[in-house]
Amino acid sequence: MEPPPALHVVCPALQTPFQGIPPVVDLVTSFLIPRTIDRAVYCRLHRVLAIYESSRPYTVDAMDGSAAAGLLELVQLLHANRSEGCSPAAFIGAAANRHFHVLEWLYEHYPEVANPAQELVVAAQHNRIEALSFLLPKVTREQVEPALEAAAANGHVAVLENLLRRPYSMERSLLAAAENGRAQVVQFLLERGHTDRYQLVNPALIKAAEGGHCNVVELLVDKSDEYTLSDVLITAAADGRGAVVELLMRSGQLGKLHIARALEKAAEFDQCNVVKLLLEGLAGEEETSHLSGGVTIAQAVKCIVNWAFLAAVDQGRVNVVKLLIDTYSDRMSDALITASSNSQLEVLEFLLEYCQGSHRRCDDFDQSITEIAETAASTRSMEMAELLVAKCDTLSTGGALKIAVDNDDLDMLGLLVVKSNAVSIQEAVVSAAATNRVQILEFLLERCNAVTIEHALIRVASVGNSTVSRLLLGKCDPGAHARIFDNAASHGLDDLVQVLLDKMSTHSIRCALISAAMNGHADVVKVLMDKSDSTGITCAFEMAAIRGRVGVVELLRSRCDASSISFAASAGDANVIHLLRNKRARRE
């Protein structure tokens, strides 16, 4: 045979680099020629045959295509003049395309190639009654069931009527009809009594629901059991098949506990329209009957809804959160903390607005805000911090500022300090001072009021950081030095007392001495006693005696007169009385 000329369609179909390479064009042509010749035969393309017929032999596709097209004369011509014959595809094509006369002829001349079981399935699939009647005697009982399934899947009731001359298992047929939404077939099978059992109906109901075939679901719902209906409802809810959900709820066979479980699954998959439907199903009077363990159905429903809500918060499904929030009956703080812990900022914003709007501001709202602020600082989430500042009038930032100090996070500090209370700022100042973060300390001091600086000074001085104490003291108003001096004395801060001592009046020193004595700070008393007047020493001695400050009493006793000592011995603490009496006895 001569090599065929290249097909005209080959060159344009190739990529540009290959179009000018003859061996490539010839190779592609050689792959296409057999199919081209066969198709030219049954499409009667005589010009194509004239060019290419001599280059390649026919294949069985020539007769197969002719049979599928119903060209009996051409099939007979090929049979008479060619030796290729046909394949089972010729029988299937004739059966599928209503060419019964071709099918009969093929069985007469090529019976060894036939596959009656497969042909029966194709005839059933395409509603070919005449071919069915011809093929049915040629198959076994077991080979009929696939044809029944094909007819059911395609909705051909007439085919089923022709095939069901003997009893057959209809499980697969019912499943096929339900899966493809063939309500007429399902109705036909139900009327014939093939599907009265749960084990047949339940799988069919599941398939119909999965496909959203409400007309089929409606036929089967009354014939199924409660457990299957519940499973179907849950699956339909998860897949967002609202029409199926509505139909199942309308059937009246499912209680609120089933609906709640379906709602949980719909919420999990963010099926908002279905969630709305299911919430409507949960409305109305609560079911008060008890489950095992003494829990009522109403309580169980609330628990499930709460779980669904918190899961939506956790996963950031804000639309579901908005739908469920009014039915959520647990602590709102749990939702706030969950949203912040998982950085679900859109949900967190909605929850903050909801709580701030006095819809349901929880008792521990402020504590929740504190935890969220600390989370924002720990994770360096400026977005979360900005959200808190925007949505909250005041912030109890708790340890958030301290965390930002430890992280050297000036941006976070600058954002949170604007709305932080004095206690939080004070904690941050002390933390910065304790760790010698001078830049952060100065940054904070610029944003502190006088009272906060004073409190921070006392706390910093108490840990012995004299350098930072002097820095803080320099930020204080000189008019507040007397108050700071007295506070330092009452807290036993002798270094700070010494720094301020030369600037204090006699009255301030007297008051500071009394404060130190009352609180038992002997070191401060030592610093002040030489600068105080006798009145201050006497008052300090007597107050120390009353408070039982033995060390201070012993320190000041030598500077007091007999009347003061006598008063202390009578009005003082038992330990003080014991001390003074022993002193007197030794002196005598």
Rounded to the nearest 10 degrees, how much is the dihedral formed by the CA atoms of 90, 91, 93, 96?
180
Rg of the chain's alpha carbons, rounded to an integer?
A: 47
Q: How far apart, in whole angstroms, are the C-alpha atoms of residue 82 and residue 76? A: 10
Model confidence over 524-569: pLDDT tens digits?
A: 999 999 899 988 998 998 888 888 888 888 888 888 888 887 887 7
CA distance 184 to 541: 107
Distance between CA atoms of 299 and 583, rounded to whole angstroms? 75
Return the CATH fold of 510-588. 1.25.40
pLDDT of residue 28: 45
Residue 463: the pLDDT is 77
Is-contact 178 200, C-beta < 8 A? no
pLDDT digits (tens, 9 = 90+) for 169-206: 888 999 999 999 999 999 999 888 755 566 788 999 99
* DSSP bridge pairs for 395: 420
DSSP 465-500: -HHHHHHHHHHS-GGGHHHHHHHHHHTT-HHHHHHH
Q: Output DSSP code: residue 295.
A: -
Instruction: Please state, as a whole number, how many other Cβ atoms lie within 10 Å of the Cβ of residue 371.
Output: 19
CA-CA-CA-CA torsion for 221, 226, 229, 234, nearest 10 degrees?
Answer: 160
Which phi and psi (to 5°) does residue 420 adopt? -80, 150
Side-chain half-sphere CA neighbours of 106 within 13 A: 34
How high is the pLDDT of residue 455?
Answer: 86
> How many residues are given for the chain?
588
Distances (CA, A) of 282 to 98, 262, 323, 330, 450: 55, 11, 13, 17, 57
> Model confidence over 370-422: pLDDT tens digits?
899 999 999 999 999 999 988 887 777 878 998 999 999 999 999 998 888 88
* CB-based contact 162:132 (threshold 8 Å): yes
- Any idea where the domains of the chain sit in the sequence? 510-588
- Share above pLDDT 70 across residues of the chain, in percent, rounded to a whole number: 86
413, amino acid identity? L
* Residue 52: predicted pLDDT: 45
DSSP 3-state of 420: strand
User: What Cα–Cα distance (Å) separates residue 416 from each residue in 191, 243, 382, 384, 428?
Assistant: 73, 49, 10, 11, 11
Rounded Cα gap, residues 25 and 496, in angstroms: 99
Please report the beta strands in 106-168, taking only residues with DSSP state E, as ranges in sequence order. Answer: none
Please spell the DSSP secondary structure of 113-131, one letter per residue.
G--HHHHHHHHHHTT-HHH
Report the pLDDT value the prediction gives residue 171, as an integer from 0 to 100: 86
pTM of the model: 0.71
Q: d(Cα 512, Cα 484) in Å, to the nearest integer?
A: 10
Distances (CA, A) of 141 to 104, 126, 227, 469: 22, 20, 35, 101
Angle at the Cα of 411 from the Cα atoms of 408 and 417, rounded to 5 degrees: 95
